[in-house]
């Protein structure tokens, strides 16, 4: 979750919590290093590198 603080004209900050689905990358790759993700008519590849970073390519 991300927190954003908006100040606007009000001197008191307002905290807004943005909720987004959380997915485990190793679950998406079924314990491997690659997963394919479809969006509309495009296929993307999610890759977990040896360094544990994520790469998303078209």
Q: What domains appear along the chain, each with residue ranges and CATH number?
A: 23-58 (2.10.70)
Task: Give, for all 58 residues of the chain, the pLDDT tens digit.
Answer: 456 665 666 666 666 667 888 999 999 999 999 999 999 999 999 999 999 999 999 9
| Helix (H) or strand (E) segment spanning residue 46 | strand 42-48
pTM of the complete model: 0.65
Give CA–CA dist 55/13, Å, rounded: 35
**Whose CA is closest to 37, among 45, 47, 29?**
45
Total H helices, total E strands in the chain: 1, 5
Give the pLDDT of residue 19: 84
Give the pLDDT of residue 20: 85
């Amino acid at each position: 979750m991300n927190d954003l603080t908006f100040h606007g004209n009000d001197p008191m900050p307002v905290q807004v919590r943005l909720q987004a689905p959380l997915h485990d990358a190793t679950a998406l790759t079924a314990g491997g290093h690659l997963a394919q993700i479809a969006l509309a008519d495009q296929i993307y590849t999610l890759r977990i590198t040896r360094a544990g970073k994520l790469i998303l390519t078209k």
